[in-house]
Amino acid sequence: MNQSVPTWISVKNTFNLSNSNFTIEAFIILANDSTNDWHHVATVYIIISGYTNVYIDGVLVGQLVSLPQTGLSNANIIMTIGYGFDGTIDQLSISLEAKTDERILWDATVAAYFSFDGSNNAWLLDDGPNCRHATSAGTLSVPGQVRDALYFDNASGYYQANGFTVLNIPYHAFSVDL
């Protein structure tokens, strides 16, 4: 979505947001942001406390008090996404859980996640937000400590994924976890 007009999403009655915790997340670029950087934004509604936590790039930046909704049925609920917004939205997700601070930080900062699990080369698939699928040679999927692992069966074996543009930016922090 790259517009500032409302976009309507009809949430079917299998979702009951009136009596549930929920999390709404997306990656956005603001139209007036000269850096053209993507930012992860999230809102987490916690029904017990009545609070909505607001996160930007995995950091809690605010908390809103939400008034309890009474008299709502489980009928179709219309949500408006994008009203008054001028920019680009990608990977919008709505989940029926109140994600923790740690989960929000993970969603905001992980560039790729390869579990090495699954058959039929499923271990080449990126389970992270950017879908950076890998290629490999000289590797086998074998039983591991947690589900499956990757075995390198010769000195020239490799596992390779590309498209990590953040690694080309000087002085931009990143980590690799093995």
pLDDT digits (tens, 9 = 90+) for 36-47: 888 899 999 988
Phi-psi region of 166 (alpha: psi -120 to 50; beta: other; left: phi over 0): alpha
User: Does residue 93 share a domain with residue 30?
Assistant: yes
Q: Which whole number is the average pLDDT over 152-174? A: 73
pLDDT in tens, 94-110: 888 999 999 999 888 88
pLDDT at 153: 83
User: Does residue 98 share a domain with residue 30?
Assistant: yes
Judge whether 174 lies within some domain: no
Higher-pLDDT residue of 175, 7:
175
User: Does residue 162 share a domain with residue 105?
Assistant: no
Q: How many CA atoms lie within 13 A of 140 on its CB side?
A: 5
User: Does residue 155 share a domain with residue 105?
Assistant: no
Judge whether 51 lies within some domain: yes
CA-CA distance, 108 to 123, in Å (whole number)? 22
User: Does residue 129 share a domain with residue 45?
Assistant: no
pLDDT over threshold 90, residue 33? no
pLDDT at 84: 78
Range of the domain at 147: 122-168
Q: Decide if 25 contacts 42 (C-beta within 8 A).
A: yes
**Average pLDDT score over the chain:** 78
Higher-pLDDT residue of 167, 51:
51
Alpha helical stretches, state H, 13-163: 101-109
Lowest mean pLDDT among 48-52, 79-83, 104-108, 140-144: 79-83
CA-CA distance, 127 to 139, in Å (whole number)? 19
User: Does residue 6 share a domain with residue 44?
Assistant: yes
User: Does residue 80 share a domain with residue 145?
Assistant: no
Judge whether 12 lies within some domain: yes
Residue 142, Cβ density class (10 Å: 0-12 exposed, 13-18 middle, ≥19 buried): exposed
Q: Record the pTM.
A: 0.68
Q: Which whole number is the average pLDDT over 50-58? A: 91
pLDDT at 102: 93
Judge whether 52 lies within some domain: yes
Domain total in the chain: 2
pLDDT at 41: 92
User: Does residue 71 share a domain with residue 25?
Assistant: yes
Judge whether 177 lies within some domain: no
pLDDT at 60: 95
User: Does residue 82 share a domain with residue 159?
Assistant: no
User: Does residue 101 share a domain with residue 19?
Assistant: yes
